[in-house]
C-alpha cells in the first residue's frame, strides 16, 4: 500500500477512554483493551526472546530469533582521543566517509541545567565550556560491527537530544533547551541557567571531521526547544520539530542550499482556514489537512532566555498550529516528512504525522497513526525508515509510569497498513525503563544501530531483515 494511505480506518470508540495504570484493576483493563486491538498488531519478525550480546555476553534486550547484536561505546569508556565517553546517548545517524562506516551520536547532557566550569566534553573548541553536551563520532568496522576509533566531534553545547542527517555528509545536532546567560527559577522553584552563552540552537557537525571543529550556532534556524531536523533532498528545505507541551512544526528555507550558516527564513506550519488549529486531541485516523506556512519574524529572540515559547508564540500569533511534544522527524525519498508527537492523542500515547509538500507554499498534513492504547504504542520518540522499505522503526520513551505510561520500553515497527510490530524490548538489569534512542540503519540496510539512553550504550543489530510478516 502507498504510504499516502498509510493506515486502515480505526474506530477510536473501541479503544476505550483514557487508561490509567495505577492499580491492578486498571492494568487488567488495559491488557484486555490491548487484546481487543489485536488487529493492530503485526507478526513482524516473530516472538521476542532474551538474548546476550555476541561480543560481550551481556543481556540488554529481547530480540526475534535469528537476530544478533553487539554492544559498544559505553558511558565512561575511554575513547581514542583520550576522553571518556559521555552519558545520555541519544539521536544519531550513520555515514559513509572514504569507505568508512561512521556514526555521529548526540549526548543529551543537562549538567543539572546549570553551568559548571570544565563540563565541556572535548579538549578544545568548546561553544560554551560550562555546558556538558555535544556529539561523539564513532568509526565502525562493518564486518565485526565493533569500534575502530571514536572521539568528541562537538563540545560545549547543552542537552543535545536529536537532530538529523544532511544529504551532504553532516549531522545537525539540536539543543533541547533555551537556557542561557539569565538565571531563572523553574516551575519546581529550582534556579537554572547562567551559562556563558545562550543555548537553544542547531549545530552542524561534519561526519568526515576527525576532531571537534569550532562550533557555529545556526541562529537563523531558531532558538527554541529543538528536537530534530529532516531535510528534503530535492528542495534543500529543512524541517524542524519542537519538544514542548505547546509545540510548532517548522521549516527553514536556506538562502543557499547546503550553506545553513549563511541564513534563511524560518516558518511555522499552519492549517489552512483553521487558524491556531490544535492537533493534540480530537483527531481521526487518516485525517488530512491542507497546510501552509507563516513566517517567524525574529527566530533568535533575546527573551528566549526566560521564555522557551518565544519563537512558538510568534508563529501562533499568525495562526500557526499546535502539536504536543514533537520529537523526531525523518524524510523519505519523495520528500515527505514523517514526524512524531510523543504525547499527542486521546490517551497521550503518541501520534505519527506525515507532511507532504505540494508546492512552495502548501502541502498536506496527514495523521498516519494515533496510539489507541499504550500497550500498542507508548510515547514514540526517535524514528527511521529501513532502507528500501516502508517499515518505520520507532523508539519508545515510555518511562513516565506516573503519567499513564507502561513500565516497558520497546523498539517497534509501524507497517504500511497501519499495524504495529514489536522488534525489541529493553530488559537491562536495573535499567529496564531506559528509553531506546537514536535508531539508524547503515546505508546497505544490513545493520540497525540504536542506543539505550540511561544505560549509556550503543548497539549494532543484524539478522534476516527480509523475513518480516505483516
The answer to whether 63 touches 461, Cβ cutoff 8 Å, is yes
pLDDT for residue 63 is more than 70: yes
For residue 23, what pLDDT is reported?
A: 40
The answer to whether 371 touches 33, Cβ cutoff 8 Å, is no
pLDDT for residue 260 is more than 90: yes
Q: Which domains does the chain have, with CATH numbers?
A: 3-467 (2.120.10.30)
Mean pLDDT of 239-268: 98
Within 10 A of 73 (CB to CB), how many other CB atoms are there?
Answer: 23
Q: What is the pLDDT of residues 105-148, one digit of tens each?
A: 999 999 999 999 999 999 999 999 999 999 999 999 999 999 99
Instruction: Quickly state the pLDDT bin for 402 (edges 50, 70, 90).
Output: confident
Instruction: Quickly state the pLDDT bin for 403 (edges 50, 70, 90).
Output: confident
Instruction: Quickly state the pLDDT bin for 58 (edges 50, 70, 90).
Output: very high
For residue 34, what pLDDT is reported?
A: 52
Q: What is the pLDDT of residues 308-353, one digit of tens each?
A: 999 999 999 999 999 999 999 999 999 999 999 999 999 999 999 9
For residue 27, what pLDDT is reported?
A: 46
Mean pLDDT of 56-81: 98
For residue 17, what pLDDT is reported?
A: 29
For residue 310, what pLDDT is reported?
A: 98
* Helix, strand, coil share of the chain (percent; to 5): 10, 40, 50
CB burial of residue 152 (10 Å; 0-12, 13-18, 19+): buried
Mean pLDDT of 204-226: 98
Mean pLDDT of 455-468: 98
For residue 19, what pLDDT is reported?
A: 30
First-to-last C-alpha distance (Å) of the chain: 12
Mean pLDDT over the full length of the chain: 92
- Structure-model confidence comparison of residues 292 and 39, the more confident one: 292
Q: What is the pLDDT of residues 182-192, one digit of tens each?
A: 999 999 999 99
Q: What is the pLDDT of residues 220-231, one digit of tens each?
A: 999 999 999 999
Q: What is the pLDDT of residues 19-43, one digit of tens each?
A: 333 344 444 554 455 558 889 999 9
Give buried/exposed letters for 432-454 (b at 16+ CB in 10 A, else e).
bbbbbbbbbbbeeeebbbbbbbb
pLDDT for residue 369 is more than 70: yes
The answer to whether 150 touches 120, Cβ cutoff 8 Å, is no
Q: Which residue, among 217, 82, 224, has the nearest Cα to 157 in the 3D structure?
A: 217
Q: Whole-angstrom Cα distance, residue 121 to residue 130?
A: 10
For residue 36, what pLDDT is reported?
A: 81
Q: Whole-angstrom Cα distance, residue 40 to residue 386?
A: 20
For residue 38, what pLDDT is reported?
A: 87
Amino acid at each position: 500500500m502507498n504510504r499516502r494511505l498509510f493506515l486502515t480506518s480505526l474506530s477510536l470508540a473501541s479503544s476505550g477512554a483514557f487508561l490509567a495504570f495505577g492499580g491492578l484493576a486498571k492494568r487488567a483493563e488495559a491488557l484486555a483493551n490491548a487484546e481487543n486491538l489485536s488487529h493492530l498488531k503485526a507478526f513482524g519478525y516473530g516472538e521476542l526472546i532474551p538474548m546476550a550480546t555476541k561480543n560481550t555476553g551481556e543481556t540488554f534486550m529481547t530480540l526475534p530469533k535469528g537476530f544478533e547484536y553487539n554492544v559498544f561505546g559505553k558511558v565512561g569508556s575511554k575513547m581514542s582521543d583520550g576522553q571518556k565517553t559521555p552519558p545520555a546517548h541519544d539521536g544519531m545517524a550513520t555515514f559513509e566517509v572514504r569507505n568508512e562506516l561512521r556514526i555521529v551520536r548526540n549526548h543529551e547532557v543537562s549538567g543539572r541545567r546549570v553551568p559548571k566550569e570544565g563540563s565541556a566534553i572535548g579538549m578544545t573548541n568548546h561553544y560554551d565550556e560550562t555546558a556538558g553536551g555535544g556529539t561523539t563520532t564513532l568509526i565502525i568496522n562493518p564486518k565485526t560491527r565493533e569500534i575502530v576509533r571514536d572521539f568528541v566531534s562537538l563540545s560545549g553545547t547543552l542537552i543535545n537530544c536529536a537532530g538529523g542527517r544532511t544529504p551532504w555528509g553532516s549531522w545537525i545536532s539540536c539543543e533541547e533547551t533555551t537556557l542561557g546567560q539569565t538565571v531563572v527559577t523553574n516551575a519546581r522553584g529550582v534556579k537554572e541557567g547562567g551559562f556563558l552563552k545562550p543555548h537553544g540552537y542547531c549545530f552542524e557537525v561534519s561526519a568526515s571531521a576527525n576532531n571537534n571543529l569550532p562550533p557555529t550556532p545556526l541562529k537563523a534556524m531558531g532558538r527554541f526547544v529543538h528536537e530534530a531536523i529532516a531535510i528534503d533532498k530535492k528542495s534543500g528545505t529543512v524541517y524542524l520539530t519542537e519538544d514542548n507541551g505547546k509545540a510548532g512544526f517548522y521549516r527553514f528555507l536556506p538562502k543557499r542550499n547546503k550553506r545553513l550558516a549563511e541564513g534563511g527564513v524560518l516558518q511555522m506550519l499552519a492549517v489552512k482556514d483553521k487558524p491556531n488549529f490544535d492537533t493534540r486531541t480530537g483527531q481521526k485516523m487518516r485525517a488530512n489537512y491542507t497546510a501552509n506556512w507563516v513566517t517567524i519574524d525574529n527566530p533568535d529572540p533575546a527573551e528566549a532566555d526566560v521564555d522557551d515559547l518565544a519563537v512558538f508564540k510568534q508563529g501562533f500569533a499568525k495562526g500557526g498550529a499546535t502539536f504536543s511534544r514533537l520529537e523526531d522527524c525523518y524524510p523519505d525519498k519523495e520528500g515527505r516528512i514523517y514526524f512524531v508527537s510523543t504525547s499527542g492523542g486521546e490517551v497521550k500515547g503518541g501520534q505519527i504525522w506525515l507532511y507532504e509538500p505540494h508546492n512552495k507554499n502548501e502541502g498536506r498534513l496527514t495523521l498516519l497513526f494515533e496510539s489507541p492504547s499504550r500497550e500498542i504504542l507508548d510515547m514514540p520518540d526517535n524514528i527511521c525508515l529501513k532502507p528500501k522499505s516502508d517499515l518505520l522503526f520507532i523508539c519508545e520513551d515510555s518511562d513516565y509510569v506516573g503519567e499513564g505510561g507502561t513500565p516497558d520500553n520497546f523498539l517497534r515497527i509501524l507497517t504500511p497498513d497501519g499495524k504495529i510490530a514489536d522488534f525489541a524490548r529493553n530488559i537491562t538489569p536495573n535499567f529496564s525503563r531506559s528509553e531506546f534512542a537514536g535508531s539508524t540503519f547503515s546505508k546497505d540496510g544490513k545493520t540497525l544501530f540504536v542506543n539505550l539512553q540511561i544505560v549509556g550504550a550503543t548497539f549494532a543489530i543484524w539478522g534476516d531483515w527480509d523475513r518480516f510478516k505483516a
